[in-house]
Structure 1
């Protein structure tokens, strides 16, 4: 077995600086907001894994169904020697792609990218054990900056799964897709998962489950600020809300202050005032239609080669090729 290697391009100090900058920008803006990336500390990541198994949360199951049916076709069309996964790679979905590329007899390398060095290290070790012939190199980095530092030794397939692209605002998506295209050579491929527009009721239930796991996940971001920035958010005094924005076609996760509160964020030297009922936006999750996906990929320099949906038509995988 080849011993997996970790390439560190994003340190704990980088993460701390980014959190301070994001928190200052969002908490002093009107209306207030936080970047969804800070939802995923160790506790948040564990809660999100629970969310993916909830009956209301269809996305993970739908995407996995598509991959079970089409992974080999993806492997044949991409003809990739390297699988680059933006987001830590030890899940069943990752393995479906690795197995298909191995069956296609092109697979040489697995390059997962994630901001968490500990999560990435564990993922790389697990993959290296089960795929001993692979060159496994984990890259500690922030996917929003594109693919800086990702090797180009073999033809690459970049996988960005789970609908995570919907967490980026339109201008952020455009910058991200353009940066990924800039890192690829003509003919290399991007596989991207997108949740699709559907009924408001179905969408809201997926982000406000009956068991309250998503509410706990959302409020945990305040615990992150309390711990990392020496803040004093009264976490339980904020209520989780999931709101469908029909004009933008996205879900917004928000935290509502149930009473007026003055929050000190000592690490930033900030005092943040919340009025009763004021809401803090913690995540946007855009939903897509095929034309929108095709057009955004095209503007960034990709051609949409294939579009697959699950049987219910709730989620899509798009295979795009760099022009």
Structure 2
């Protein structure tokens, strides 16, 4: 379905989003321990807070990935010769402009397909991109990259970009089917560009998720405001404390919300009552960190061959360029 006033193909509607929210929240808050998926951070306020996080001194991933793309976008363009760039979870598509510029300068790029769950964000991004790249065909796709990979346009000679370290929000059990499904949508020889945060000293990792200014804490608690608004819940947002922990065994950061007192929360839209004990924690995000051998093996198991592996000068973050084999 095409959006009436832009080149947006809409596969995820508000009703679908609410249905998924209801199902996820019911499952997560009924579990032990309790959890919520991180995608519900990103309402308008959550997206603003995340943009603020990316500019914090402690939050290195955005700067490190930008450094890599600045240094190697021209190589990506030369190696792939892609005619179509597809970006999963594009948001504002800001970093992607480094790839767009390189592919345009290389002379192969004809179209850009940003995919995101937010029609509003895509509407704004597509408008800005059309103004800045008048010769480029830009077609936004409103979809969930977990459930709608089959809707990616098959234009041939594609480069699919999945940046920002978002792959870390999947557990290993979730990454495997995601990567396998993505590979199934690509022809042999098409390309996948993946940004991944690397395992490093927890003294660097943890502050990136627990900054001194408290922006990440506000971002974390914002998910409760989303539930209050969308599901007629009565979370006392200020009664929850932000927690960021490094799990050395799983090699991931966990963000949690800790109840500072015992309470009972009602989600009237779900007819659900949820007790919290004092000190009980609700997991809101997993952010896995990677090692080169492990991620290369995961990609290989899904049918991708890594051709290039680049890191920033501090070896904090990596961008892998892989081909569908």
Shorter-chain TM-score bucket reads: over 0.9
- What CA distance in whole angstroms lies between the structure 2 residues aligned with 1:52 and 1:220? 17
- What CA distance in whole angstroms lies between the structure 1 residues aligned with 2:141 and 2:150? 10
- Per the alignment, residue 26 of structure 2 pairs with 24
Tell me which stretches of 4 or more aligned residues in structure 1 moved more than 4 Å.
none
Given the alignment of the two structures, is residue 154 of structure 1 paired with residue 151 of structure 2, yes or no?
no
SS of equivalent to 1:276: coil
SS of equivalent to 2:275: strand
For the Cα contact (< 8 Å) 1:6–1:121, is it kept in 2?
Answer: yes
SS of equivalent to 1:253: strand
State which drifts further: 312-321 or 167-176: 167-176
Given the alignment of the two structures, is residue 96 of structure 1 paired with residue 98 of structure 2, yes or no?
yes
For the Cα contact (< 8 Å) 2:197–2:317, is it kept in 1?
Answer: yes
C-alpha deviation, 1:4, in angstroms: 5.2
SS of equivalent to 1:186: coil
1:74-97 superposed Cα distances (whole Å, 9 cap, x missing partner): 111111100000112544311100
Q: How does 1:273-288 map to 2 (within 5 A)?
A: 273-288=275-290
- Per the alignment, residue 112 of structure 1 pairs with 114
Query: What TM-score comes out, normalization by structure 2 length?
Result: 0.97
State which drifts further: 169-178 or 60-69: 169-178
State which drifts further: 148-157 or 272-281: 148-157
For the Cα contact (< 8 Å) 2:91–2:121, is it kept in 1?
Answer: no
Q: C-alpha root-mean-square deviation of aligned residues, in Å?
A: 1.0
Structure 2 unmatched ranges of 5 or more: none
Structure 1 unmatched ranges of 5 or more: none
- Per the alignment, residue 135 of structure 2 pairs with 133
- Per the alignment, residue 62 of structure 1 pairs with 64
Query: What TM-score comes out, normalization by structure 1 length?
Result: 0.98
Aligned residues: 321
SS of equivalent to 1:144: coil
- What CA distance in whole angstroms lies between the structure 2 residues aligned with 1:178 and 1:140? 21
C-alpha deviation, 1:61, in angstroms: 0.3
1:180 to 175, 179, 182: 182
Distance change in 2, residues 1:272/1:89 (3 Å): closer
